[in-house]
Every structure is written in C-alpha cells, then in structure tokens.
Amino acid sequence: MKYWLSTLFLLVATALFADAPYKTPFHVEKRTILDAENREVRLWGVNYYAPFNHNFFNMEELGVLHEQAIDRDLAHFKLLGVNMIRMHLYEREITDPVGNLVENRNLEVFDYLVDRCEKEGIFLMISPITWWNTIANMKVQDEQYSYWHVSSQRAFGFTNFHSIDAMIWDQDAIDAQVRYMEGLFQHKNRYSGKPLCQYRNIVAVELCNEPIYPRWDFTFPEPPDLVINQTNASFSHGAERQKFIDLWKKFRAKTPADIDDSRCFKEFSAQVMDNYFTTLRKVVDRNFGRNILNTQFCSYNGVMPADLQEAFDRAKVDVASAPTYCPEGVFDAVNNDGLEFLPHVRHYFDRLDRFPAGKQPLVIYEFDAVGTTVGYPIAAIAAQYARHHIQIANHFTYTPYDVAAWNPGWLVHFMNIAHTPAKALGFAIGGEIFRRFGPGMKLEMLPGKWGGDNWEIEHKGDRVLLKTNDFFGYTVANDWELPEMKTLRRVAGRFSSRFAESDGNGAYFLEKIGENQWKLDIFPEHKLLADPTRGRTYRYMANRYVNCQKEPPVSQLRNQRINFRLKALTLRSCTDSEGKAVEVKENGVVIVPGSYILNVE
C-alpha cells in the first residue's frame, strides 16, 4: 500500500508534532527523570534499525530508498504515539579495524534519521556500540569467498577483533572505542551540517549494548577440549583470554596474600570498570557536556548487583538500563500467540518488588512479548511500567513497513502498524496507559484479565481497551460507552465501537484537527501467510538473515476497498489525500486504505 500525504496532510502533521512536549536537557532528581522545565518525563518508544544490519540490506534487496522508508515509518510512529527511538549503532558497519569512522551509505541513512527525528520531535537514545556481528560481514565474505581479506571491506569494524568482555578491560579495545566515539560525536550530519553531539533530541547515551562486566570464571584457563558455540562464542578465548588472566595475576601479585581471592577480584573488577567508565565518559562529556543522560546497562532482569551499583555511583551514571522479555529467559521461541502472558508479566515485576531498587532510575532499552503478534501482553507490560515508575521504555523491535511482509531480522520480535495490527494497537494503547498513570494507579490483576480506571487488558480475545477524556482505544469490537465527545480528540481501533466501524481487520486512527473535522488513517486488510517466527528454521541466537528476494513473505496486505462508517458523528463529506471528494452514503464511505479528511457535524 502506498501512503501518500498531500501538502494539507503534511501541514497538519507538522502543526501537531513539530513542538516536542519536553524541553531538553533532561536531568535526574530523587530517582526521577525531569526535563529542563522540571516536568516528569514519559517517553514511549521503539528500537528501529533502517540504517543498519538486516533492515538496511533488506531494503536494498527490494530496491527501496531508505530515506523514503524512514519517512513512511516516522509517519506511522506518530499514529502509534512514539516519541522516542532507541538504537544501538552497528559500529562494525561504520568503522575500520582501529576505530576510525568510515563515511558510507549506512552513516548517510543514519544522518537522515537523526535529522528527521529532530524535526519531528522524536527523542533518541543511542548506544554507539552493538558489538554483535553483522549481515554485512556475512554477505561480503560469502560473495568474496576465498578472496576475502580484512582490507577488502572499507568498514570492517574494530569490534571484529575483540570479544564482548574485552571491550571493558582491554586497553586496545578501549582506545579504539575512544577513537570511534570522538569521530562519531563530532561527525557532521550531511543534512544539517551539525555534529551529532549538537542534536538536542539525543537525550541518552549508553556506552555499549549489553556489555559483559568482569567475571571470576574468566580468570581461569579454558579447558583444551572446550567447544566454542553460540553460547560462549562472544567471550574472550585463547590469547585474548590469557591477556585477561595476566592482568588479573599482575593485580593479584600486588595485593597482600591475606586478602582472599574473592575480595581481591572485587577490587580488581572495580579498577577495571572505573578505567572503562572514566575513559569513555570523558569522551561523552567532552562532546555532549551535561546535555544527555549518562546511561549504563545493569542486568537482564532489572535488578541492580551491589558491586555494579558501587561502580555506577563512582562513574556518576544517571540512569540504569535493562530489558523486559516475557516469558522470562525465552528470547528465541516459536509463535506464542496462544500463550497466557499475564502471569509471566506479573512474575517479572513481582521479582523487581522483592529486590531493593537501585539508586538510579531504571529505563528500558528493549522489551517485548516474545514470538507474538497479539497486543494485550504489550499493554500489560506498559501498565506495569507505569506502576513501577519507569519513565522511558522502548519496544524491540519495530519492523520497517517496506520489509515487514517478510519479517526479516529478529524473527521473534515482529511489530508493524500494518502487518501486526493487534500488536501495534496494543502498543499504542499501552503507551497511553504508560503516560497517563503512575505508581498509585489502580491495577486489578485477576486470572486472565487486568483492569484499572477505564482500561481493560484481557488474554481471551486479545482485548485492550482504554478511554480517557481525550482518547479512546480498542483492539477488538466492543460496546463501551464513549468518552465525552466535546473533549475526545483521538481514536485508535479495529472493527466496531460506538464511535466507528470498519469491515476490515486493519487498524484505523482518527484525530480531531478542527471544530468539525477529523483526519482518518486506515490500514489494509491483513493476513498471515505463515508463522512469522518461521518455527525452528533458524538457529538459536543466529543472525537471521532473510533474503527477501529468495524467501516468500509471511504476511500479506490486501489493498481492497473497506466499508468505514462513523457512528457517533454525522459524516457530511470526505476527501482523500489528493483533495478528491469521496461519496458518502449512510454515514459511511467505501475507501481504499490511506488517509482522509472527514467533515462532520
């Protein structure tokens, strides 16, 4: 489906979203993130990777211009209430072996995204280092085969030469990170001419995505018969592991013999982390000053380890970051649409309640209900975030519209406004719950059903409903009473309600843009052609490269006409995005998916 916006529609979008609701820089007071005007911040976002890795190459395969794809997705983000993007940059695709920044197409697309986000009032949380291997390496080495060598790739990044744990303790790796971050932060955007560090919509910088802090078991030589597999391949091995062991032995030799190894290693680990944080935070501070939140990964379950808390305090970390994946411990899975997620969501947050909170506020860099296309688990996670005063949360990951039919990349993390309408609406409505409620919120957690003040989340039927004075959202047909029509400004839903009805199964969004005028965005009929997770076709934690030219799509959009009718208002006229009149009959229209202006009484 083509989503074309006329000058009128672009002006409407600009008027509504050009002014960001929060003023930067952000800061922290009493474990609360505040903006420059001391307002409490709530940012609801997605991870988005059009400039890098799978998504970047899949767009190239399909002949899609990345900039146009970004424009389409940003327009959809506005409908979903997204006001933040979190991204871990794939440094292997934009650096050379010693950490120098490489100017290439990936960086050009990244420039475009950053500049467009600033214009659209979307905040950014960036992790300069992902560490993980990339599709670029796999494709180039496959194409060049026995002729490949390091210098045959202009961008064969420095992290190809270091394990994930070495990023913290190996001085060569730290020096390369310094070189890379200096180049990245001072890199001048092709579209604005501004260096990256001058973009005020960048509000958080996390040094590295999911680092591995020093571990006691790394001080021992590896067994000669150790099998290196996907579980341990990212760790240091061989000569690199021995380098870490030698550092530890050197430190141990300088400490009194009566200090036991456990205490000594704790001191050694503290020294290693202090050097890492101090060195790299100087680079961040030198470029951004105090205009960003210094962010650092704490754990996979959100619980702050005691020794890490001490390191964070010494490094003056502003906020700690963690993910939320439900069911817990199941990152990769087959399709879980039939699973009852509410007990799993509750278990995750009940554990948080059993442990003392860290000194820093917790932000969520990634979250998802794994292997699902349903929406109620996402809304349940959002409600728990509100209840636990988590102020920034980013879903992992949003699949760009132009490649979403194939769900390439992270197969078990699939969300797109058109191809997973129930999940996207659960996310959008969950975002409203996240923004509007807080720690004192009413939250009834019954078996199979949660509820609060004018909202419901239910496993059966994948039901998510919310009404406020200005918003009405629903994932299913319902007969809920409407909010007060004088104050209602936005509706997001599927199927039928007392406000509107559609005979398609795609999402629709309505926004009041004038006294008697609403803007309608309606998406196509949707059908899954196969399990979007592809079962066990791909190895656990493998680079899931799906070649869109060779593999069939898993999702289909049917660009057929849809019967859409208003029920709460009298529809007088309708125009499409080109200003052409659409016939109104029995308070409804028969339309193709797209954008429309509705004139009502």
Do the domain assignments include residue 190? yes
* Spatial contact of 274 and 266, defined as CB atoms under 8 Å apart: no
Q: Which two tokens stand for residue 387?
A: 């209840």
**What is the pLDDT, as a whole number, of residue 280?**
98
**What is the pLDDT, as a whole number, of residue 332?**
64
Do the domain assignments include residue 548? no
Q: What are phi and psi of 171, to 5 degrees?
A: -65, -35
pTM above 0.85, yes or no: yes
Q: Which two tokens stand for residue 83?
A: 């006001």
pLDDT tens for 97-151 read: 999 999 999 999 999 999 999 999 999 999 999 999 999 998 899 999 999 999 9
pLDDT tens for 341-391 read: 999 999 999 999 999 899 999 999 999 999 999 999 999 999 999 999 999
Do the domain assignments include residue 284? yes
Do the domain assignments include residue 571? no
* Spatial contact of 493 and 485, defined as CB atoms under 8 Å apart: no
* Spatial contact of 166 and 236, defined as CB atoms under 8 Å apart: yes
* Spatial contact of 560 and 545, defined as CB atoms under 8 Å apart: no
Do the domain assignments include residue 228? no
Do the domain assignments include residue 549? no
Do the domain assignments include residue 257? no
* Spatial contact of 102 and 154, defined as CB atoms under 8 Å apart: yes
* Spatial contact of 275 and 175, defined as CB atoms under 8 Å apart: no
Do the domain assignments include residue 422? yes
Residue environment code for 324-341, b if the CB has 16+ CB neighbours within 10 A, otherwise e? bbbbeeebbbebbbebeb
The rounded percent of the chain whose pLDDT value lies above 90 is 90
**What is the pLDDT, as a whole number, of residue 139?**
87
Q: What distance lies between CA 9 and its chain's CA centroid?
A: 27
Q: What is the CATH number of the domain that holds 405?
A: 3.20.20.80
Q: Domain range spanning residue 176?
A: 7-217+275-460
Instruction: Spell out, as residue ranges, where the chain has pLDDT lower than 70.
Output: 1-20, 329-333, 536-543
Q: How many domains does the chain have?
A: 1
